[in-house]
């Protein structure tokens, strides 16, 4: 089953408490520390374009890549409203193609966890290295095995006036695969003949893999990227055994 189809329409509503502005400021601090204050920047797994728009607003020439048509349609609608000159590409992170190199590549909100095999990550990382300017920076986050182990098997639900969802979570500790089955209800503008409200129902299955920092370091090295540093994405401090999300920064290291 495809991911981010029906969910795309309500994704931003359920993610309205996501601190995109805080994340953007952190990304900018890191990029500026390496002298990247403008120029071309690629966002992998850009989704509905929340971060892409923020970085474009701050002066970067943005390219967004995502596999979901539905998510990109929403991103394109935002671009029409903002007027930002953003190029969106409907491509797979494991096989994306650009017209030339970029100064930096960023990826947030656990997009890398959707790559379920190490070979998938290697394919992505090798392309990142290939499309980065000499010495260019790659910054991404990922959810750790510890986070998925902590969530485990659980059911999460959220009910709002216009939409609601049920999230059934399952974690396969043997293969480090986290599955969550989403059932989404969205209020329809039409009403039934009896005057009752009608809701549209969507179902999706999502699969993510948990990784450790050591695994990421090894895969970055195998892809010829140079690992620079990592830190806890929630505290911005050193990575610990209980870090749930980690920022990694790597650098282009020759083609």
The CATH number linked to 226 is 3.40.50.150
Which pLDDT does position 160 carry in this prediction? 78
Q: Is residue 140 part of a domain?
A: yes
Same domain, 93 and 66: yes
Q: What percent of the chain has pLDDT over 90?
A: 77
- Model confidence pLDDT, tens digit, residues 242-252: 999 999 999 99
Looking at per-residue pLDDT, the higher value among 33 and 197 belongs to: 33
Same domain, 47 and 160: no
Contact 215, 121 (CB under 8 A): no
Same domain, 113 and 154: no
Full residue range of the structural domain in which residue 187 is found = 147-209
Same domain, 30 and 85: yes
Contacts 24+ apart (CB under 8 A), 9-17: 9/70, 9/74, 9/186, 10/163, 10/165, 10/184, 10/186, 11/47, 11/48, 11/71, 11/74, 12/48, 12/50, 12/74, 13/160, 13/162, 13/163, 14/158, 14/163, 14/165, 15/50
Looking at per-residue pLDDT, the higher value among 33 and 189 belongs to: 33
Same domain, 131 and 152: no
Say how many domains are in the chain.
2
């Amino acid at each position: 089953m495809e991911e981010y189809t029906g969910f795309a329409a309500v994704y931003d509503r359920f993610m309205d408490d996501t601190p995109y502005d805080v994340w953007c400021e952190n990304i900018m601090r890191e990029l500026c520390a390496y002298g990247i204050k403008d120029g071309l920047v690629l966002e992998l797994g850009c989704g509905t374009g929340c971060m892409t728009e923020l970085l474009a607003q701050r002066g970067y020439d943005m390219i967004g890549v995502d596999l979901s048509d539905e998510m990109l349609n929403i991103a394109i609608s935002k671009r029409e409203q903002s007027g930002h000159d953003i190029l969106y590409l409907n491509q797979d992170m494991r096989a994306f193609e650009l017209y030339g190199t970029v100064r930096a590549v960023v990826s947030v909100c656990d997009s890398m966890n959707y790559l379920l095999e190490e070979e998938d990550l290697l394919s992505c990382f090798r392309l990142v290295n290939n499309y980065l300017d000499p010495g260019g920076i790659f910054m991404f986050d990922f959810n750790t095995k510890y986070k998925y182990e902590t969530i485990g098997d659980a059911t999460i639900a959220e009910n709002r006036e216009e939409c609601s969802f049920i999230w059934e979570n399952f974690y396969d500790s043997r293969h480090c695969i986290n599955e969550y089955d989403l059932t989404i209800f969205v209020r329809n503008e039409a009403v039934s003949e009896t005057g009752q409200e009608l809701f549209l129902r969507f179902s999706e299955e999502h699969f993510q893999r948990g990784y450790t920092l050591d695994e990421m370091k090894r895969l970055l090295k195998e892809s010829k990227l140079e690992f620079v540093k990592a830190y806890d994405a929630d505290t911005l401090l050193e990575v610990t055994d209980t870090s749930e999300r980690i920022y990694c920064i790597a650098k282009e290291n020759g083609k």
